[in-house]
Structure 1
Amino acid sequence: MTLGPTVLDVSISYGLPRSGIPAANSFRRWVAAALDGRIREADLAIRLVDAREGKSFNRHYRGKDYATNVLSFPAELPEGVKLPLLGDLVICAPVVAREAAEQGKPLNAHYAHLTVHGVLHLLGWDHEDEREAECMEQLEREILATLGIADPYLEES
């Protein structure tokens, strides 16, 4: 049995100038690919931030004093409340740009990967141990392949 198309409400907000950042429709397409066949309806927000705001979020919520590429905040709904609220993603644009350059990856492909990665965290996937990491990475590869994006885990030679 297939679920059919996912009904999405993806809100994008910007805490920095949009120059060099993919269009909102790209983020919506990447979210849709990550959710395809997994849930019927989802409501989530993506906040694109600068390094200062990214560091602040990471310090406050994870106790780490640096900006990281993506943070996922799954919705915590009271028991019995049935809403399509999936949660929030915070993506730090300068970190994404630096990583893409360091890894020799197209910027949009890296944004796509981190968006998919973050959405999978919102769905409950994790990479705390090696087995979980391998399963999550394989799912990311499969989702990104549907978007025509190369395996983000291939080592550059």
Structure 2
Amino acid sequence: MKISLSLQQDFQVPQLKLKRGELKKVIKTTLHHINIDDHCELGIACVDLNESHQLNLQYRGKDKPTNVLSFPSDIPEDILPMLDARPLGDLVICIPVVLTESQQQNKNPHDHFTHLLVHGVLHLIGYDHELGETEAEEMETLEIEILAKLGLDNPYDERV
């Protein structure tokens, strides 16, 4: 499996160093877990509160920043065989929200970012926890399994 990754890091912080190789490993592990082994491409933009807020308002009608937004590719299925790589879409991850949530939930920022990356990739390929309880449980189970493969704890365990 090959991953073509476009990474835009307009917002960076010392406590969260993102390495392209690590990001690709997370993406590959996620896709392999759900039996996608194609050459895939996706974009990740790391943004500030203002950009996340504006995008969340524009695309979801929610007047606040959010941790991750997913924009799945809308290329028709019949076109995919003609492409060199399967375009998954784009993720927008708000670094200040990731850091705030990490602190509030007593989580390591890198681990929380990794969870959100897995979560976002699942959204790009069609999983949606907002469709109902069954879909949410299915998505959470996948996230827990994938993160375990990456050596990370269950992000849904209660923190004290």
Flag whether TM exceeds 0.5 (same fold). yes
- Report runs of 4+ in structure 1 exceeding 6 Å deviation: none
Paired residue secondary structure (1:91): strand
What RMSD in Å do the two structures reach over aligned CA positions?
1.3
Paired residue secondary structure (1:36): helix
- Partners in 2 of 1:153 and 1:18 — Cα distance? 25
Paired residue secondary structure (2:66): coil
Map 1:47-86 → 2, pairs under 5 A: 47-78=45-76, 80-82=78-80, 83=83, 84-86=86-88
Return the letter of the residue paired with 2:149: T
Paired residue secondary structure (1:104): coil
Aligned length: 152
- Partners in 2 of 1:79 and 1:111 — Cα distance? 30
Asked if residue 142 in structure 1 is aligned to residue 142 in structure 2, the reply is no
Match in the other structure for 1:44 = 42
Q: CA deviation at 1:20?
A: 3.0
Asked if residue 29 in structure 1 is aligned to residue 25 in structure 2, the reply is yes
After alignment, is 19-28 or 95-104 more displaced?
19-28
After alignment, is 92-101 or 11-20 more displaced?
11-20
After alignment, is 35-44 or 145-154 more displaced?
35-44
The TM-score, its normalising length taken from structure 1, stands at 0.91
The TM-score, its normalising length taken from structure 2, stands at 0.90
Map 1:106-145 → 2, pairs under 5 A: 106-128=108-130, 129-145=132-148
